[in-house]
Chains A and B, each alone.
Chain A
């Protein structure tokens, strides 16, 4: 049995009252790609930041090659051969690649010989790993994929034997992901050890040989990747079995309540992004909008929810014209008429991140009874309501006084959903409901949307996740370049068919 290159024993770490890591034990073997998987907020990044010396554990020990070490700062970790590529790159944007890499390890007070030597060494490293990076390029001119390579190169230059990557694929295109995986495999072949933090099951199955699962700050399992499956890992991550497919009753379609006629909408740069769109939604129906990002879905939803001007055409709710190019109802008036909106960018439009959870839970309804009376907020009612609704929607942690930005993406989304759904809207507009949301919460959010539909709401769902569209919608329209290029009943339709429409080929 080989001794592990990295061994963590009983690591504990708290931030205030929140315990991010509880008694974590972890062994990572040399020359492997080891996956650490868990939902958002499970404590993966915190654990690895401790290994990297960025945070200090409250207790526990860290051994490298069997030798216990004390990591007080990233410098200690770097000296001990640990490198980390953070989710948000740690690069100075207006510096060159070379400057970023030598930062902190210049080796000389005044730049001269060592700088030249660093350049030569780096050029060699680039050749070895086929990196193709111009050392004199400024970071801000580089694509995300290249910036990530610079981060990897930086770690290698500083002598990393263990390379930690935190959610490396979140920002990459599929092609860039392929490139990255190629690099990681070749690093492994060189004898480097790689720790991959992710919440994407497919990456674990693809790349790793061993996997550790974290849930709510605890390490809940270790296994060899070949001995497990996606379903099993998902269950370990969430703590119960997860439905990867949604249960849906037969549709009970009512009359048409929402209608869009020949709608055109321009964006902020005065470019027409929605072109002559017609659609109808019946009560008790989910209409899915599929499409690649940036084909007008955003502007369409914004126009329908009253936050963007209609250029031409009209929108009807219950047969009454609510918006055309001359006048339109603002979101507040639309709300009163029974239209709710879950915006696709929850950070920017759905929530005020610096507000407390209970404030966001009632925001928009805060001036109505029982939350306020004669312009004065009724804190008792608000707290009672918040406690109730947070329980009902399983928002974690269940603390209405916590600042909203401290909740994970999934829990933030639940806060918005509860606010919009509890008013029992007749029409619900939803954009990207599960973007950045972990699987446990996805299942919950999907179920809520189905419940609304069964209660008779008309739902318009825009999503770039084809799986989501396919599992929720009763009818699907595909948008390409601002136009509706196809409409299908969701029976026997394949993702391949939709994919061709989305690409504008069919």
Chain B
């Protein structure tokens, strides 16, 4: 029975840890399917975390904080679009610029507003998202298996966790079952074909980037107004890059990207649980090695375990119509 509850709590934390990765990967899918590289997921997630925490602190409502984060992230995506779509700049350079800007900006603004470099005040219960306990969770807990599944795994998450996993089928539906999705995929594969079909390539890419901005804002808000109760310096901690890796590993497809995110989340949850645990015959594993697990996994998987990842054909190339 203890074994079962161990597993349940491992799955529970996997779901929680994977949440920002899932949002970021879905955001990445929109940008990259439209042909725009998005390394700036990391920076935008950090900015969203900051804005959500600050907004929620001043406005007293985490939803308003989230709204602000969405607005700011969409603006950042538009900035990326302005540099790399309208002005045909190098997409990677634009992303790196955004990432560096935001690391500095969040630290500096926190220092200016709250007197602490890179730290925002702790949010009280009204200012942050709380765990949602599904109805009858306590009553059903003692029923074997179903009870564990419902009460310990499904119940008790932040709203973002539910939204993240609901976003996956939604993204799938948009990308593969709607005319917008068809155009989105086409513009990342062969923008000339889209242009000659009478659709504006630039508008399509901006639309994709706008959606990208909305989704990534959720990831950031999850970090600073749900799992934590404040923003701290560089709190995104490489999750944007990890999500990008998951998206590539998932071949730019929402379903497989989800699996990749869960895998990364699982190794992370596992490493937390394994810390300090004595394994039979091996003894205690050095904590550094365990913490490196998700990253080692990334490298191993991307190094060819999953076969060749085929990117959208026109990714990274600005669309130039006239010669």
Q: Closest residue to B174 on the A side, CB-wise?
A: A110
Measured between beta carbons, the chain B residues less than 8 angstroms from A10 are: none
- Whether A109 touches B180, Cβ cut-off 8 Å, given contacts A94-B189, A95-B185, A104-B198, is yes
Set A78, A84, A91, A105: member contacting B193, Cβ < 8 A: A91
- Whether A84 touches B196, Cβ cut-off 8 Å, given contacts A90-B190, A92-B190, A103-B183, is yes
Q: Report how far A55 CA is from B197 CA in the complex, Å.
A: 14
Measured between beta carbons, the chain A residues less than 8 angstroms from B185 are: 92, 95
| Nearest CB of chain B from residue A31's CB, rounded to whole Å | 25
| Nearest CB of chain B from residue A475's CB, rounded to whole Å | 43
| Nearest CB of chain B from residue A426's CB, rounded to whole Å | 40
Set B178, B200, B313: member contacting A109, Cβ < 8 A: B178
| Nearest CB of chain B from residue A319's CB, rounded to whole Å | 50
**Size of A's binding interface in residues, CB under 8 A:** 32
Set A74, A88, A102, A111: member contacting B178, Cβ < 8 A: A111
Q: Closest residue to A76 on the B side, CB-wise?
A: B198
Contact status A110-B190, CB under 8 Å: no
Q: Give a binary string over B158-202; 1 marks a CB under 8 Å from any A CB, 0 the rest.
A: 000000000000000000011110110110011011111111100
Measured between beta carbons, the chain A residues less than 8 angstroms from B186 are: 92, 95, 99, 103
Measured between beta carbons, the chain A residues less than 8 angstroms from B196 are: 52, 54, 74, 84, 86, 90
| Nearest CB of chain A from residue B203's CB, rounded to whole Å | 11
Measured between beta carbons, the chain B residues less than 8 angstroms from A435 are: none
Residues of chain A from 93 to 113 with CB closer than 8 A to chain B in the complex = 93-95, 99-100, 102-106, 108-111
Set A15, A88, A104, A111: member contacting B197, Cβ < 8 A: A104
> CB of A330 within 8 A of chain B?
no
Measured between beta carbons, the chain B residues less than 8 angstroms from A321 are: none
Contact status B190-A108, CB under 8 Å: no
> CB of A73 within 8 A of chain B?
yes
Q: How would you classify the secondary structure of chain B's contact residues: helix, strand, loop or mixed?
A: helix
Q: Report how far A105 CA is from B189 CA in the complex, Å.
A: 18
Q: Closest residue to A107 on the B side, CB-wise?
A: B179
Q: Report how far A111 CA is from B179 CA in the complex, Å.
A: 7
Measured between beta carbons, the chain A residues less than 8 angstroms from B182 are: 95, 99, 102-103, 106, 111
Q: Closest residue to B192 on the A side, CB-wise?
A: A90
Measured between beta carbons, the chain B residues less than 8 angstroms from A188 are: none
Q: Give a binary string over A40-71; 1 marks a CB under 8 Å from any B CB, 0 the rest.
A: 00000000000011110000000000000000
Q: How would you classify the secondary structure of chain A's contact residues: helix, strand, loop or mixed?
A: loop
Set B179, B190, B195, B323: member contacting A91, Cβ < 8 A: B190
Contact status B195-A54, CB under 8 Å: yes
Measured between beta carbons, the chain A residues less than 8 angstroms from B321 are: 54-55
Contact status B195-A74, CB under 8 Å: yes
Q: Closest residue to B200 on the A side, CB-wise?
A: A73
Measured between beta carbons, the chain B residues less than 8 angstroms from A91 are: 190, 193
Set A75, A99, A100, A110: member contacting B198, Cβ < 8 A: A75
Q: Report how far A99 CA is from B189 CA in the complex, Å.
A: 13
Q: Report how far A103 CA is from B178 CA in the complex, Å.
A: 11
Which of A76, A94, A99, A108: most chain B CB closer than 10 A? A94
Residues of chain B from 193 to 249 with CB closer than 8 A to chain A in the complex = 193-200
Contact status B178-A110, CB under 8 Å: yes
> CB of B322 within 8 A of chain A?
yes
Set A15, A93, A108: member contacting B323, Cβ < 8 A: A15
Measured between beta carbons, the chain B residues less than 8 angstroms from A110 are: 177-179
Q: Report how far A96 CA is from B295 CA in the complex, Å.
A: 37
Measured between beta carbons, the chain A residues less than 8 angstroms from B197 are: 74, 78, 90, 103-105
Q: Report how far A356 CA is from B189 CA in the complex, Å.
A: 30
Measured between beta carbons, the chain B residues less than 8 angstroms from A105 are: 197-198
Q: Report how far A75 CA is from B313 CA in the complex, Å.
A: 24
Q: Report how far A73 CA is from B177 CA in the complex, Å.
A: 26
Residues of chain A from 335 to 372 with CB closer than 8 A to chain B in the complex = none
Q: Give a binary string over B302-323; 1 marks a CB under 8 Å from any A CB, 0 the rest.
A: 0000000000010000000111
Measured between beta carbons, the chain A residues less than 8 angstroms from B177 are: 110-111
Measured between beta carbons, the chain B residues less than 8 angstroms from A15 are: 322-323
Measured between beta carbons, the chain A residues less than 8 angstroms from B199 are: 75, 103-104
Contact status A92-B193, CB under 8 Å: yes
| Nearest CB of chain A from residue B246's CB, rounded to whole Å | 22
* Cross-chain pairs A/B with CB under 8 angstroms, 9 sampled: A54-B196, A92-B186, A92-B189, A92-B193, A95-B186, A103-B194, A103-B197, A105-B198, A111-B178
7 residue pairs, one from A and one from B, having the closest CB atoms: A75-B198, A104-B197, A106-B179, A90-B193, A90-B196, A74-B198, A92-B189
